Amino acid sequence: MRFLFKTAYEQDIKLFRDRTTVVWYLVLAVTVLALPAMLSRYYIGEITWVFIYGICGVSLMVLVGYTGLVSLGHAAFLGIGAYAHAYLVHHGVPWVASVAIAVAITTACGVIVGLPALRMTGIYLAIATLAFSVIIQEVFTRWEGVTGGFAGMAVDKPEIFGIRFSNETSFYYLCGATLALTLLLTQNLLRSPTGRAWIAIRDSEIAAQSMGVYLPFYKSVAFAYSAALMGLAGALFAHKIAYLAPDIFSILFSIQLLLLVIVGGLGSLQGAVFGAIFVALLPPIIAILRDSIPAGMADAAHATGIGLIGTIGHGIGEFLKKPGVEAGIFGLILVLVILVEPSGMYGRWTKIKLFFSMFPMYKRDSFKRQKSYMRSERLR
Amino acid sequence: MTFFQAENLAINFGGIRAVDDVSFTVERGEVFTIIGPNGAGKTTIFNLVSRIYDPSAGRLTFEDHDITTTPPHRIAEIGIARTFQNIELFEHATLLQNLLLARHVNRKSGFFSELLFLPSVRRMEVEHREAVEKVVDFLDLQQYRDTFVVNLPYGVRKIAELARALCTGPKLLLLDEPSSGLNVEETDDMAFWIEDIKNLLGISVLMVEHDMKLVAAVSDRVLALNYGRPLATGTPQEVQNHPEVIRAYLGG
């Protein structure tokens, strides 16, 4: 166990806690930069999804994990960003300007959707955002002049200042850099008054108000910032998916994003990235298992001469091919996470870290929290 | 010039008149306590003063400014800070974050400078930290700085709320039952701290309290309430021996 000696107030403001942390993040950065040299194009493409989902995760983490406002309509913001960007790029607007305009549009939508949030919390807000998302999806379908309706809309490859990001690797770097930037900016907000105001609103609105936090303003800012990040993610999403259709941005996608932040661990930016890894990589893993399990078990049956193993393997493969199984597995994992590890993957990660740093003195109860029954409910 | 004044304050909840025609003044540098049986309207007065409720009638003045219609988030800015009866700390944040939030009214940064964490923001954060550290030293909270509030014992949370209120840099401190849930020693400590806040920091205190020992020890003047109406005002001794007050508490 290492103890950190603090000698200056600046130390508590730093992005990274100490030099060891910096080294680990450098190792991570180098690994991410070197991955394209080691992995096939398919995997690079999948990891690009992790980056895009990561930006979405940070966006929702600000709103749900830090400000305590639930949104069931974030896929709509993603869609608005994606369609706006695709439309503008297609009509010859330079990439950077197009992203900026797409972000501005989603931010404006975020402010508008945030207005009811000033009066609503919890389930009511969830319903309001859900309604918004349904309306937006309908707009995507009907506004054929811009979105192409159900016929869909092809998206050009990104071209920034004359550099074409046409292959998987270059787009991988673009998305990775955007995620890194997003994380940095969000961390900046979280370590300054705005971030603290968000946390205060999440934990006790009444106390936040009495400490001088103007609730409507900071809730609006949270919604606007979250929507802006979603718009940014949407622009990258459009390029990645290459073909936009209204049914992509459904409520199921919003729920998947909510699942991302919960599985990752509410209230931490690392959790957003962990959740993104989970959500983005689970489908390809299921796809791989779908083929490898029957094949592997057929081989085993062949080698051992027991036909039953082959039959079971075939059955599992057939089961995994059924529609809806993926969503089922997502749901099952969500339930398990909430039951077993409510603080999500990041919570588990901090426990593992503590286990190794305190080995062999780790106490299982280090993270047990006493239940408190003393909050006042009267003023809500 | 009166420091703080409430004139003919009243509020209705449906048909219930929770506070009825209450007037009192708090002088600069004094500890003024409101006592009364359960349901007398003490906390309601606090919520009126901190502007969470709108009064049905009456007027609030603070340093010659009418604050009857000031929005609640501006109250901290003009120099009134409060604690809560049932502790309303930000539980899933560290004690330091809680105290730093209380510096919110003193922030000078905009959203975009915070987004980029400009040097000015960094400087301001260090300034806030210095201000917070003074309060941490004053109330002996050093060892809890990086502890999450959920993991703090009740007694420490009570002090933490006091610390958070002090961090806003108030002129008038509203303490809603500072001793509730504390043991005898902790209550004694609380009495010392209230004295220190008055004498060393020069902050006036408006307090709601049940523990008569604490009330007698620190209060300069006491207001007794029952059913939202004032019964008596005066020194702790005078009020304690007032026949109306005795009747309100003991019946008869």
Is it the case that residue B64 has pLDDT exceeding 50? yes
Give the pLDDT band (50/70/90) at residue B130.
Answer: very high
Adjacency order of strands within the sheet including B4-13 = B16-26, B4-13, B57-62, B65-66
Check B109 against A188: CB less than 8 A apart: no
Task: List phi, psi (to 5°) of B233.
Answer: -130, 145
Which among A185, A203, A211 has the least Cβ separation from residue B168?
Answer: A211
Strands B172-176 and B204-208: parallel
Say yes or no: A350 contacts chain B, CB-CB below 8 A: no
| Concatenated DSSP letters of B16-71 | EEEEEEEEEEE-TT-EEEEE-STTSSHHHHHHHHTTSS--SEEEEEETTEE-TT--
Q: Where are the domains of chain A?
A: 40-267, 284-360
| B104 chain-A contacts, CB cut-off 8 A | 193, 196-197, 200, 211-213
The one-character DSSP state at B88 is: -
* Interatomic CA distance for residues B186 and B211, integer angstroms: 12
| pLDDT of res. B16 | 86
Nearest CB to A203 within list B77, B93, B96: B93
Residue whose entry in the numeric block shows the structure tokens 């007398």 = B40
Q: Which residue of A has its CA nearest to B47?
A: A379
- CB contacts of B154 in chain A (<8 Å) are 374
Least confident of A78-87, A369-378, B74-83, B102-111: A369-378
Interchain contact A270–B (C-beta under 8 A):
no
pLDDT tens per residue, chain A (380 residues)? 677 788 888 888 888 888 888 999 999 999 999 999 998 888 899 999 999 999 999 999 999 999 999 899 999 999 999 999 999 999 988 999 999 999 999 999 999 988 877 888 778 888 999 999 999 999 999 998 888 888 888 888 887 887 777 788 889 999 999 999 999 999 999 999 999 999 999 999 899 999 999 999 999 999 999 999 999 999 999 999 988 999 899 888 998 899 899 999 888 999 999 999 998 988 888 888 888 888 888 888 888 878 788 888 888 888 887 877 877 887 888 788 888 888 888 888 888 888 888 888 777 777 766 555 555 444 43
Residue to mutate among A11, A18, A196, A210, with most B CBs inside 10 A, is A210
Angle (CA) A146 A72 A216, round 5°:
95
What mean pLDDT is predicted for residues B49-60? 91
Alpha helices in A118-167 (DSSP H): 122-142, 144-147
Q: Within a 13 Å sphere around the CA of A167, how many CA atoms are in the beta-carbon half?
A: 6
Whole-angstrom CA distances from B108 to A296, B111, B171 are 64, 10, 20
From A218, which residue of chain B is nearest by alpha-carbon distance? B111
| Chain B contact set for A226 (CB, 8 A) | none
pLDDT given for residue B252 in this prediction: 60
**Model's pTM, two decimal places?**
0.90
CB atoms A375 and B47 under 8 Å: no
Q: How far is CA A118 from CA A98, A279, B234, in A?
A: 30, 30, 44
**Does the domain at residues B1-79+170-252 carry the CATH identifier 3.40.50.300?**
yes
> How confident is the model at residue A376, as a pLDDT?
47
Length in residues, chain B: 252
Residue B40: the pLDDT is: 86
Interface test with B, best of A199, A211, A213 (most B CBs within 10 A): A211
Task: Name the 3-class secondary structure at B173.
Answer: strand
Q: Is B119 in a helix, a strand, or coil?
A: helix
How many Cα atoms sit within 13 Å of A22 on the Cβ side?
A: 6
Q: What is the dihedral of CA A215, A220, A226, A230, to 10 degrees?
A: 160
The per-residue pLDDT for A81 is: 95
ipTM value, please give it. Answer: 0.91
Mean pLDDT along residues B210-222: 91
Distance to chain A for B78, nearest Cα, Å: 10
Q: Does B83 touch chain A (CB under 8 A)?
A: no
Query: In the prediction, which pLDDT does A293 show?
Result: 81
Distance from CA of B252 to the nearest CA of A (A): 31
Give the chain B residue whose CA is nearest to the CA of A15: B117
Please indicate if any CB of chain A lies within 8 Å of the CB of B84: yes
Provide CB contacts within 8 A for A332, sequence distance 6+: none
Q: What per-residue confidence (pLDDT) applies to A18?
A: 84
Nearest residue, CB atoms, B73 vs list A193, A213, A376 = A213
Provide the residue ranges of all domains of chain B, joining segments of one domain with +: 1-79+170-252, 94-164
For chain A, give the number of residues. Answer: 380
